[in-house]
Amino acid sequence: MDVVHERCAGVDISKGDVKVCIRVPGAGRRRRREVRTFSTMTNDLLAMRDWLLAERVTVVGMEATGAYWKPVFYLLEQDMDCWLLNARHMKAVPGRKTDVKDAEWIAELVEHGLVRPSFVPPEPIRHLRDLTRYRTEIVRERTREIQRLEKFLEDAGIKLSVVVSDLMGKSARAMLEALIAGERDPHVLAELALGSMRGKRPLLTEALTGRFTAHHAFLTRAMLDRIDACVAMEQRLSSQIDQQVRPFRRQLDLIATIPGASGRAAEVILAEIGADPSRFPTAADLASWAGMCPGNNQSGATNKPGRTRHGDPWLKAVLGQIAVSAARTKGTYLSARYRRIASRRGKKRALVAVGHSVLIAVWIMLSRDIAYHDLGAEHFVERLNPHAKARQTRRLIDQLHQLGYQVTVHPAQAA
């Protein structure tokens, strides 16, 4: 095979050490190969970098191993071209049984150009990504704690969640605080309702009748404190994120023009794909990397169902949230696309398709620096040719006939 990179290295990374194999020109036409082992301590990693620089290595490939690749990658990226490689692209080849052989195999794949590097964003985007991902985890933890509290109140016979929609709302929170303080009279507790909740006082009296003991008060207090701590941490992270995204305000404003995309969703998208979409040659490449398109599974003339790949779970989650919100909008292209696909393929596939459309739009908007242009809910009807329009007309008339109606169709008068 042809040699694509004359001086390259492969790195197998574990928690305690790294195995580094270099492949450089040797005597005559032969290639020289050398393997060394370094610990993952910073001083040893610096010695590894000096050795690679002395050998004039230009490309270093390493397998994505948990979080252990990060200190190696970040240390080397300023001095040479670092490639983070997908483990799935290399595991299919048999015969690799040791870390040394792993490093040798990675170096050989890089040498012949048989692998492609994964996307690693620049440092400012990496910092933003750390913040948005941690905020997402905090929000999920708060949600889990609220669900835990709801189930714990069932143990005390308190059915507050049956009456109120938000267990952390002002009325519900005041009732829980009163229960913790020692108030047990359900009529007194129901009087703490505010606003429209006051109309539900008789039902609240029934829901607050239970056996709430000192044990329940202690654990309820602990759960509420943890929920409050999550809220405080979420606000703290959001404040830091606001400072981090100031250089990318233009990109955030563009993403926020998509129906269903909130400012927080735009921050997550920016943190996951970066401000410069040119790293992905086409919008289809970005959708494939994110796992927002179906896989290919063709055998001969048969096209079998192809599942979406795992992709970026953080990006897929926020695209799913945007798809749900966009599907509920009125008179938009995304809502029309959702209804069109949901009627044939189901709601889940429709949400993935809408999320795919959103991601394609993001790539185009960031590449061309343009705001979102909605095609409108009538886009799918307007693009039909005369034969397709006639076919759809017959189908709709048949449905009305099945419902017992007789209809006569006349062309609409032009305005």
Report the amino acid identity of residue 220: T
What is the per-residue pLDDT for 255?
95
What is the per-residue pLDDT for 387?
77
Mean pLDDT of 112-116: 86
Q: Give φ, ψ of 63 to 5 degrees.
A: -80, 140
Whether 82 has a pLDDT exceeding 50, the answer reads: yes
Task: Parse the chain into domains and list their residue ranges.
Answer: 8-111, 124-244, 253-368
Whether 181 has a pLDDT exceeding 90, the answer reads: yes
> Tell me, what DSSP letter sits at residue 184?
-
Report the amino acid identity of residue 188: V
Whether 38 has a pLDDT exceeding 90, the answer reads: yes
**Burial (CB count within 10 angstroms: exposed 0-12, middle 13-18, buried 19+), residue 132:** buried
Q: Two tokens at 413?
A: 């008068």
In angstroms, the CA 404 to CA 154 distance is 50
pLDDT averaged over every residue in the chain: 89
Task: Return the CATH class of domain 8-111.
Answer: alpha beta
For 191, residues 6+ apart whose C-beta sits below 8 A from its C-beta are 201
Kindly state the greatest CA–CA separation across the chain. Answer: 94
What is the per-residue pLDDT for 414?
52
Most confident region among 68-82, 306-320, 394-408 by mean pLDDT: 68-82
Asked whether the beta carbons of 270 and 252 are under 8 A apart, the reply is yes
**Chain centre distance of CA 194:** 37
Whether 402 has a pLDDT exceeding 80, the answer reads: yes
Asked whether the beta carbons of 34 and 21 are under 8 A apart, the reply is yes
In angstroms, the CA 220 to CA 214 distance is 10
C-alpha dist (Å) from residue 92 to 10, 159, 308, 311: 17, 54, 20, 19
In angstroms, the CA 379 to CA 338 distance is 13
Mean pLDDT of 226-230: 97
- Count CB atoms within 10 A of the CB of residue 295: 12
Assign 94 a pLDDT band (cuts: 50, 70, 90): low
> Tell me, what DSSP letter sits at residue 260?
T
pLDDT tens sequence across 241-279:
999 999 999 999 999 999 999 999 999 999 999 999 888
Q: Two tokens at 342?
A: 């949901």
Regarding predicted confidence, which is higher, 306 or 274? 274
Mean pLDDT of 366-373: 93
Whether 204 has a pLDDT exceeding 90, the answer reads: yes
In angstroms, the CA 392 to CA 162 distance is 45
> What pTM, to 2 d.p., does this model score?
0.84
**Partners of residue 299 on adjacent β-strands:** 302
What is the per-residue pLDDT for 415?
45
Mean pLDDT of 340-363: 93
What is the per-residue pLDDT for 88?
74
- The single residue listed with the structure tokens 């985007």 is 125
